[in-house]
Amino acid sequence: MIFRNILNKEFKVVLSAALTISFFSLVAKLLGLVRNRIFAGEFGAGDTLDIYFAAFRIPDFLYNILIVGILSSVFIPVFSEYLARDEQSAWKLANTVLSVFLLIFMAFCLVAIVFAPQLITLVAVGFGDEKKQAAVELTRIMFLSPILLGISNIIGNILQVRKLFFSFALAPVMYNIGIILGALFFIKPLGVAGLAWGVVLGALLHLLIQIPPLFKTGFVFRFLFDFTHAGLRKIVLLSLPRTVGLAAYQLNFIIITSIASTMSSGSISVFNFANDLQFVPIGIVALSFVSAVFPMLSAAYANKDTGGFLRELYLTVNQILFLVIPISLFLILERAQIVRVILGYGQFSWEDTRLTAAALGAFAVSIFAQSLIPLFTRAFYAIHNTKTPVFINVASVFINILFSFYFLNLMRAHGAFAHYVGTLLKVSDIADISVLALPLAFSVSSIINFLWLYLAFSWRMESYDSDTIIRSLFKTNIAVFVMAVAVYATLHAVAALVDMQTFTGIFAQGIAAFLAGLLAYCASSWALKIPEFFTFWQAFFLPVRKLFLSRVFPIQVNGSDKL
């Protein structure tokens, strides 16, 4: 009963919804790190995980272009319009979308299963025949997951519009639990195919957790194949540019995987491990805020409330930057400790650790840009402008590919560039560091992408005023500098007190530096009177403190003491 009430809880404030999504995103990301630790310890950065990550790429591509591209960005504003006019017409639209896209998901996955050998050849051009065959077997199993995730995503969009964020936020947690169960229990009887079946189990759990609160919305599913439905046509037409953009973005990762497959064994794994680590703050902070604010932006624009639209956007930009900038610097300064503690055991070697840490550092410099790209992209979508962000994002993909090949050639030449990168990231003594070309190129293109989107949106919205953002960003950077000094000093101080050759020593050093940096950042933010600090304090820390005190100290109720 209690759990059902929690699943059915309605959120009416962006910050509370964002914090809920952020919390479960944190749990999901932590479980993702547990998943990667199991992978790394069991297999190391080598052929087996290269095969798994390559096999995962094609189903992930299909999921992103069909589900994220069409449904995540366009369904919500269109469904919101129908819901504002008439609830029954909104449910008819939802049933039509569910029925039609279920058919599309199944058709695409069936075709992809048949042509899996050809697709894997494109994704992993550097693989030998044996590795390609293993990847084909895994990718065919994993093609079941886009079907389940497609249904789940549509349901999640409906729940977001009805402000039922809890189960929507919990779904990624269930997804990672399924993958972990596969890694723990399916590998022994099924071999590496157990990893693929874990992905399918995770997708099924992702769907099942969102079904109970769906009934509270009044939705009743029935098959409706109305291909002429005006809302369906609008969703498809509005999504075409977005789908093209996401297809290009995912094609970018396919090309990166293909390039990495020509490098030394484990390069695909190193890139993916580092990418997963750097994506933790993006997923926890940025995407959580974007998911929470997007329905509000869509509603504000639908109601012609430009002031409310921009106010929500300003607040979200400042809140995201306040959180991700210090996290980015923390990842750069403690990259080796983070990778060693999370991944460094079992078959994951010290060289694997150092290369992954270096790649993480290269990624981290662009986390601020990667965090704001989805926000400004969704801001464009909320005003029904899909062409501008798609053009910018597609162009940025080509920029990334060009820089990938350019940096790779510089790395393989073993000249000044390779020496500088190796020295800066402390891997100059490793023979082959060419994989670092990929995260470096990704960061450069991400920063260009964000700047382009930001300038385009500023031009599109004439009343857009960035002064508030700039003032807040200036204070945030001062606080971040103080934090960096505290982290750096603590790292060196603790290193002299503990054994840095042990897990306990590395963990103690990392935690001490993190706590010192957190304290310094909070104190600096308080002293500088950064508004976002007080917003988060009131939204999170004060309720926690009140809850704790109410359980420990008596509260006066009608003259009597009650616990």
Q: Are 261 and 126 in contact (CB under 8 A)?
A: yes
> Does some domain include residue 559?
no
The tokens for 45 are 């950065």
Distance CA 511, CA 479 (A): 20
- Lowest-confidence pick of 24-28, 78-82, 401-405: 24-28
Considering the domain architecture, whether residues 454 and 480 belong to the same structural domain is answered as: no
Please determine, for residue 13, whether its predicted confidence score (pLDDT) is greater than 70.
no
Place of tokens 């807040």: 472
Question: Six-digit token pair at 513?
Answer: 């530096």
Give the Cα-Cα-Cα angle 369, 372, 376 (nearest 5 degrees).
Answer: 130
Residues 459 and 474 in one domain: no
In a domain, 40, yes or no: no
More confident of the two residues 90 and 501 = 90
Query: Can you tell me which residue has the tokens 């550097």?
Result: 126
CA–CA dist 96, 102 (Å, integer): 10
Are residues 292 and 213 part of one domain?
Answer: no
**Residue 413 CB contacts under 8 Å (≥ 6 apart), including other chains:** none
Task: Using DSSP, state whether 187 is helix, strand or coil.
Answer: helix
pLDDT beyond 60 at 1: no
Angstrom CA distances, 299 to 116, 185, 303, stand at: 42, 45, 6
Whether 434 contacts 408, CB under 8 Å? yes
Question: For residue 561, what pLDDT is reported?
Answer: 37
| pLDDT above 50 (res 436) | yes
Task: Note whether 131 and 273 are same-domain residues.
Answer: no
Quick one: what percent of the chain has pLDDT higher than 70?
A: 90
Residue-wise pLDDT tens digits, 180-222: 999 899 988 888 899 999 999 999 999 999 998 888 788 888 8
Last residue of a domain, one of 223, 257, 291: 257
Decide which of 301 and 435 is more confident.
435
Query: What's phi and psi for 321, nearest 5 deg?
Result: -65, -35
Task: Please list, in sequence order, all residues whose beta carbon lies within 8 angstroms of the beta carbon of residue 118, skipping any fewer than 6 positions away.
Answer: none
Whether residue 216 sits in one domain with residue 103: yes
Is 143 a member of any domain?
yes
User: Would you give the distance in Å from CA 246 to the centre of its chain?
Assistant: 14
- The encoded tokens of residue 195 equal 């990893």
The secondary structure of residue 541, as a DSSP letter, is: I
The confidence score (pLDDT) of residue 560 equals 38
In this structure, are 476 and 458 located in the same domain?
A: no
pLDDT of residue 446: 95
Q: Give the domain-ending residue among 465, 499, 516.
A: 465
184 and 153 share one domain: yes
pLDDT digits (tens, 9 = 90+) for 333-381: 999 899 998 888 778 888 899 999 999 999 999 999 999 999 998 888 8
Q: What is the pLDDT of residue 558?
A: 42
Asked if residue 249 and residue 190 are part of one domain, the reply reads yes
pLDDT at 563 over 50: no
pLDDT at 485: 95
3-class secondary-structure state, position 562: strand
**Partners of 560 in the beta sheet?**
557
Contact 240, 409 (CB under 8 A): no
Question: How far apart (Å, rounded) are the C-alpha atoms in residues 156 and 176?
Answer: 17
Domain that holds residue 344: 265-465
The number of folded domains in the chain is 3
Quick one: 408 and 440 in the same domain?
Answer: yes
Three-state DSSP at 507 gives: helix
Helix (H, G, I), strand (E, B) or coil at 556: strand
Residue 187 maps to a domain: yes
Residues 362 and 507 in one domain: no
My answer on whether 251 and 394 are in the same domain is no
Arithmetic mean of pLDDT, 15-41: 81
- Dist CA 394 CA 180 (whole Å): 34
In this structure, the answer to whether residues 485 and 412 fall within a common structural domain is no
